[in-house]
Amino acid sequence: MNFVEELKKQIAQLAKKVSQAIDNLKLDEKEIKLKELKIQMSQPDFWQDQESAKIVGRQASFLSQQIEDWYNLNDRILNLASLLNDEEAEDLSTELEDNLLDLTKIYESMSKELMLQDKHDSLPAIITINSGAGGVDAQDWAQMLERMYFRFAEYQDWQLVPMDRSLGSEAGIKSSVFKIVGPYAYGYLKNEAGVHRLVRLSPFDSDHARHTSFAMVEVLPEVKDIKFEIKDDDLKIDTFRASGHGGQSVNKSDSAVRITHLPTGLSAGCQNERSQMQNKKNALDYLKSKLERYFEAEKEEERKALKGEYTDAAWGNQIRSYVLHPYKLVKDHRTDHEDTDPDKVLSGDIMPFIEAKLQQSLADK
């Protein structure tokens, strides 16, 4: 087989992969969805709810770019295949090979989207961080994790929406709830759920002894289109004065809201907005996401875990360890992916860990 024939074979294989990807990504359905979003965006009252409008706008922009990128790649591959059938293909073989390598690299980069095809992967992610065993060190650790995810969202140029926050008694935070909105935000972040362990010399210990701290991370998709009824009588709504994020202007009235679903005991709160009405809306959206996951769970043990009754944020349950002393290492115990620069990871560089877990999950299917 001569060189041109080998290139033809390789381009045919790449064309097949791209065609399969277009089918797997259901771009035809996404084109229909994009048209629906554009109609929604053209309505006179579209910008009345600015937060929802921004989310819809981002979703439309992402779908438009995704559709354009995949079809453009497909067209470039077909054009290259056509050039290989030209009489002058032999003379241009080096240039054509370079083009094929470029297209292959583009495909490999774009094919990450194929790992994100589960039901809720395209939705925004609601992340809850709770400090676990370790006292004030654990509360400080919870705040370090909060910062890590905030920085990760910034690196991705994703929207960050703080929702609820409880400060620690001396330092750090007892808990934090925030939403991250971006392309496949939940798909990327869903596997961050679990216990995260920190080992370091404690800055709160007068002897600077080595301490181990734990924090629990919960990740839920923001599901607004639920398939079950939430009765008003099943909801208990409490209002209180906001604290933490938002500044003094937030604290002047009882604008914070916590909603409890009495039949399940699940609750959700929001205090970031100045408006009690907006906080109530955000808290209800958060509660809907919790209930969606709760009712999807098939086993009682899974339901207990969703309510925080199953996995303790303590020794032996960690999915990832961050060791700052006596050596430096971040290790994911599910994939064995490691990084010897904890400062970099804690500054938001967690995509390698995320992709390693996604690839493992894809291989297990």
DSSP states along 274-287: S-HHHHHHHHHHHH
Q: Which residue has the tokens 């404690």?
A: 202
Quote the pLDDT of residue 250: 45
- Measured CA to CA in angstroms, residue 60 lies from 38, 222, 308 at distances of 7, 17, 35
pLDDT recorded at residue 310: 47
Tokens read off for 19:
């065609």
Residue 241 has a CB neighbour count (10 Å cut-off) of: 12
Q: Which domains does the chain have, with CATH numbers?
A: 3-115 (1.20.58), 129-365 (3.30.70.1660)
**In what helix (H) or strand (E) does residue 210 lie, and over which residues does it extend?**
strand 210-221
CB 69 within 8 A of CB 75: no
Position 90 scores a pLDDT of 72
Burial 317-352 (b: 16+ CB within 10 A, else e): bbbbbbbbeeeeebbbeebebebeebeebbebbbee
Q: What is the pLDDT of residue 2?
A: 78
pLDDT single digits (tens) 238-292: 998 776 544 344 445 678 899 999 999 999 989 887 788 889 988 998 998 888 8
Tell me the three state secondary structure of residue 235: strand
d(CA 136, CA 93): 65
Positive or negative: CA dihedral 257, 180, 353, 141:
negative
Low-confidence ranges of the chain (pLDDT < 70): 1, 89, 91, 243-253, 298-316, 365
What is the per-residue pLDDT for 252?
Answer: 54
SS3 content of the chain, % helix, strand, coil (to 5): 50, 20, 30
State the pLDDT at residue 141.
98
HSE toward the beta carbon, residue 26, CA cutoff 13 A: 10
